[in-house]
Amino acid sequence: MIITSCTPPPMMEGLDMKMFVSPKDRLDFYRKEIHHEANNLSARTNAYLTAQSFLVIAYASSMANTNPEWGPIFTLIIPPMLALFGVLSSMSAWPGIQAACDIINHWHRKQTDLLSCQPEIGPAYDDAPLFSSWESSYQGQSKALIFSKRTPWLFSAFWLFLGLFALIIQLL
């Protein structure tokens, strides 16, 4: 079915009711989406950190080159190039990490709205809240995403420093 602005609202409401039989089904769907996107974010962050760690090793090895014939030109060219590559890889990792964080925030907001609008699905069997107030607030969710969001920016600054350091050491 193609959804256009001409689609009548009653048709959409009936479709929504078929997809989610109960508020718990809707909550389960939101939780699965959050879990899926958190796994995507984790995989992206892990791949990014792994790549950065190999770049740091290559940078340190290239700075330690003591070959008397070609060592000075090697340490003048390769470490700044690795630093530039580190900055570029950080800049290309950022959109994917930011997109995953935005999607997680979207589903988390929908979950929070559902829990506040449907109080009967909030309490668990022992009348304790299903989610703590910190867990279901936007502030709690945003704090959980800070590491993944900041890592590309921190590594970009780190690589800029290392690139300048390599040039200054060799040229002075």
Query: What residues have CB less than 8 Å from 93, skipping those under 6 apart?
Result: 44, 48, 152
Query: What residues have CB less than 8 Å from 124, skipping those under 6 apart?
Result: 130
**Does residue 37 form part of some domain?**
yes
Burial bucket for residue 111 (CB in 10 Å: 0-12, 13-18, 19+): buried
**Does residue 22 form part of some domain?**
no
**Does residue 17 form part of some domain?**
no
**Tens-digit pLDDT profile for residues 75-122:** 899 999 999 999 999 999 999 999 999 999 999 999 888 888 876 665
CA distance linking residue 13 with residue 29, whole number of Å: 17
Domain count of the fold of the chain? 1
- pLDDT over 60 (residue 11): no
**Does residue 12 form part of some domain?**
no
**Does residue 154 form part of some domain?**
yes
Q: Are 59 and 162 in contact (CB under 8 A)?
A: yes
Q: What angle do CA 152, 163, 85 make, to 5 degrees?
A: 55
The pLDDT, as a whole number, for residue 12 is: 53
Q: pTM here?
A: 0.76
**Does residue 85 form part of some domain?**
yes
Note the helical H segments in the chain: 9-19, 23-63, 71-117, 138-171
**Tens-digit pLDDT profile for residues 135-153:** 556 677 788 899 999 999 9
Average pLDDT, rounded, for the chain: 84
**Does residue 3 form part of some domain?**
no
Domain that holds residue 157: 30-171
* Tokens found for residue 91: 């800049």
**Does residue 99 form part of some domain?**
yes
